[in-house]
Amino acid sequence: MRFLVTAGPTREFLDPVRFLSNPSTGKMGFAVARAARAAGHDVTLVAGPVALRTPLGVRRIDVVSARDMLAAVEREDFDCLVATAAVADWRPARCAAAKLKKRAMADTLRLVRNPDILKTVAAKFAHVRRRKVFIGFAAETGEPSAEAARKCREKGLDLVVANDVTAAGSGFGTATNRVTFVHADGRIERLPLLTKAAVARRIVRFASQTAAAAHR
Ligand code: C5P
């Protein structure tokens, strides 16, 4: 299968020296890319600014902003899209050409919504036969499965991997993750605390099983 994986944060610049972002390190997405490659798949990784080495045999496209990430994803063909990126939901309405003066900043920082990459791309393929597999993440503070089920429906996904980023051993920058798989049919699978590599292997297995079932 051809896997397309988004990973890391995005940066939304307000002037040449300042941006809005989040603490995503890209570990989960890089683990998915590595696991998919190890299982023999063809893998492209669209990565925001992160300090991680590209897994061997994986094609990597570096991007900065949410709009760059959307454009990169829209250029690629794939059988399964795994969206692990922590995309900034908002960006400054404009990026100033010169460094903003401190006193001018409070008045100039107007925000506009960024496109939802996963939702946009999933919607584009919602009606094709032998559909592609779409997997999203839901990072919540607190019990995540209700929000994840809503995201699964709203974005038209096959699976949402939900986690409580405030739980011990989960969230930004950790090597482990305690996640819940929320399926399109509403089924909920709570996984134990696992390494991100082990979570990644389960995601890849889910993707191949779903694709195989669709082609039967
Ligand atoms: O709605 P929320 O941002 O929590 O959804 C998270 C999921 O949607 C993740 O899989 C994330 O990668 C994806 N997403 C996206 N583009 C956005 C926001 C989220 O692809 N602008």
Point out the ligand 1 atom lying closest to the alpha carbon of residue 139.
Answer: 4
Note the pLDDT tens digit of each residue in 31-66.
999 999 999 999 999 999 999 999 999 999 999 999
Cα distance from N-terminal residue to C-terminal residue, the chain: 15
- Whole domain around residue 138: which residue ranges? 2-214
Buried b (16+ CB within 10 A) or exposed e, 105-125: eeeeeeeeebebbbbebbeee
Mean pLDDT in the chain?
A: 94
Q: Any idea which residues carry the catalytic annotation? A: 22
Task: Output the pTM of the full model.
Answer: 0.95
For residue 101, count other CB atoms closer than 10 A to its CB: 10
Q: Is 72 strand, coil or helix?
A: helix
Contact of 35 with 74, CB cutoff 8 Å:
no
Provide the pLDDT for residue 172: 84
Number of C-beta neighbours around residue 198 at 10 A: 16
The DSSP-derived string for 117-140 is HHHHHHHHTTT-SSPPEEEEEEEE
Residue 135 CA to ligand 1 center (angstroms) comes to 10
Q: What is the CATH number of the domain that holds 44?
A: 3.40.50.10300
Q: Residue range 88-117: average pLDDT?
A: 90
104 contact partners, CB below 8 Å, separation of at least 6: none
CB 22 within 8 A of CB 86: yes
For the cut 70, the answer to whether the pLDDT of residue 103 exceeds it is: yes
Nearest ligand 1 atom to alpha carbon 135: 10
In this prediction, residues 15-40 reach a mean pLDDT of: 97
Which residues are CB-contacts of 75 (< 8 A; sequence separation ≥ 6)?
A: none
Amino acid letter at 13?
Answer: F
The arithmetic mean of pLDDT across residues 111-127, rounded, is 95
Query: Which ligand 1 atom is at minimum distance from the Cα of 136?
Result: 10
Residues in the chain: 216
For the chain, strand residue ranges (E) read: 2-7, 12-15, 18-20, 42-47, 59-62, 80-83, 90-92, 111-113, 133-140, 159-164, 176-177, 179-183, 188-190, 194-195
Helix (H, G, I), strand (E, B) or coil at 192: coil
Ligand 1 mean position to 139 CA, how many Å?
Answer: 9
Q: What domain count does the chain have?
A: 1
Q: Where are the extended beta strands (E) located within 48-110?
A: 59-62, 80-83, 90-92
**What's the pLDDT score for residue 26?**
96
Going by pLDDT thresholds of 50, 70 and 90, the confidence category of residue 141 is confident
All residues at 6 or more sequence positions from 112 whose CB lies less than 8 Å from its CB, including other chains: 90, 91, 92, 93
Residues lining ligand 1, judged by CB closer than 6 Å? 6, 66, 83-85, 87, 89, 114, 116-118, 136-138, 151
- pLDDT score at 129: 64
Q: What is the pLDDT of residues 130-140, one digit of tens each?
A: 689 999 999 88
Query: How many Å lie between the centroid of ligand 1 and the Cα of residue 177?
Result: 18
* Mean pLDDT for the stretch of residues 70-97: 97
